[in-house]
A and B are shown apart, each in its own frame.
Chain A
Amino acid sequence: GAVVSQHPSWVICKSGTSVKIECRSLDFQATTMFWYRQFPKQSLMLMATSNEGSKATYEQGVEKDKFLINHASLTLSTLTVTSAHPEDSSFYICSARREFSYEQYFGPGTRLTVT
């Protein structure tokens, strides 16, 4: 199998606080993980590509200082939303890619609500 977990599954936070979301590949090593955001009735938009042991690559328009990504091991990547605002409320989904494959396996997502 190819199981990816995310924690937390949902979080409500106040404006101005920071939230950390974890993404783990449970039964395989993922040299590359991806972070997506999905607003209601829209498709997934890639935010950044996270490579183990190196800096993340951010998509155009995504603020790297606001969305901090750390990929400390072959099974864990974290996304920290800093100084969250209500417009950051969204469904954040990570995925992990097996080595030598282009298939991505998705975590269950984290629903963030900023009040």
Chain B
Amino acid sequence: RKEVEQDPGPFNVPEGATVAFNCTYSNSASQSFFWYRQDCRKEPKLLMSVYSSGNEDGRFTAQLNRASQYISLLIRDSKLSDSATYLCVVNSFRGSSNTGKLIFGQGTTLQVKP
């Protein structure tokens, strides 16, 4: 089982749609969670950290469910410029120690169409 799993998609949605991405992680000791965005042939860029209480940044909302080991990202009112690959990222633990490394999911591709 992969440590971080995502549905690779692609998700094809019209402009203005609301789309949700899900991610599961296997290590219950994980403490830090992130969503990164990666455009084609570019480096990943931090979109938002994910906090236990859930957090929102404009059209983007991230949720964390520790009991289910599940992270989500909701994008409202999709724009053409939202087309990218969204990477679910979790910090890595060895035993009970945080290694400081990040583990990346394979990414979910979003294509927003006019």
B20 at the interface (CB under 8 A from A): no
Q: Is the interface of B mostly helix, strand, loop or mixed?
A: strand
Q: Which residue of A lies closest to B36 (CB)?
A: A106
Interface window among B51-59, B61-69, B98-106: B98-106
In the bound complex, what is the Cα–Cα distance between A106 and B6 (angstroms)? 21
A interface, over-half SS? strand
**Which of B's residues lie within 8 Å of A, judged by CB?**
31-32, 34, 41-46, 49, 87, 91, 98, 100-107
Q: List 26 A-B contacts (CB under 8 A).
A: A32-B100, A34-B102, A43-B87, A43-B104, A43-B105, A43-B107, A44-B44, A44-B87, A44-B104, A46-B103, A49-B101, A93-B43, A102-B32, A102-B91, A102-B98, A102-B102, A103-B46, A104-B46, A104-B102, A105-B46, A106-B44, A106-B45, A108-B43, A109-B42, A109-B43, A111-B41
